[in-house]
């Protein structure tokens, strides 16, 4: 009997990824973390950590927040990653960036990602389609 009560108490203390409060927190955290990538002089370790956070965060966020027209996180991520024609962070961490884009394609659809991606970097989507 005591074991069942402990299990129920543990379940009450867990945070569910589908919980509205958690989704709101992840959306805000993602928007804040992406800001670090806007600086061209950001240390590579920080950029790598931000990219890894984004890779994980994409799995946790609902499609609604990823694909929202006005404040969509997908558009924010892609605009920030590809804000410069030549971005040394994207070149340095190409594998993580490709994984992020692959996850965005799976979650949001290829047409949405293609529309949100800057024209100069769309060949990367074609490359990922071939894989």
Q: pLDDT per residue over 118-128, tens digit each?
A: 888 888 888 88
What's residue 10's pLDDT? 60
Question: Which residues of the chain fall short of a pLDDT of 50?
Answer: none
Q: Is 62 helix (H, G, I), strand (E, B) or coil?
A: coil
Domain boundaries, the chain: 18-130
What's residue 129's pLDDT? 79
What's residue 3's pLDDT? 53
Question: In this structure, are residues 42 and 36 in contact, taking their beta carbons and an 8 Å threshold?
Answer: yes
* Residue whose tokens read 């609604």: 64
What's residue 6's pLDDT? 56
Nearest to 56 by CA among 30, 37, 76: 30
Q: What is the pTM assigned to this prediction? A: 0.80
What's residue 7's pLDDT? 52
């Amino acid at each position: 009997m005591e074991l069942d009560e402990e299990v129920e108490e543990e379940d009450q203390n867990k945070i569910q990824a589908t919980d509205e409060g958690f989704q709101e927190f992840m959306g805000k955290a993602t928007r804040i973390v992406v800001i670090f990538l806007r600086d061209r002089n950001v240390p590579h370790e920080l950029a790598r950590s931000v990219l890894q956070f984004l890779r994980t965060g994409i799995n946790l966020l609902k499609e609604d927040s990823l694909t929202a027209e006005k404040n969509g996180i997908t558009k924010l991520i892609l605009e920030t990653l590809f804000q410069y024609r030549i971005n040394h962070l994207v070149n340095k961490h190409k594998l993580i960036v490709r994984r992020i884009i692959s996850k965005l394609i799976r979650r949001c659809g290829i047409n949405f990602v293609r529309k949100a991606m800057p024209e100069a970097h769309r060949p990367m989507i074609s490359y990922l389609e071939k894989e």
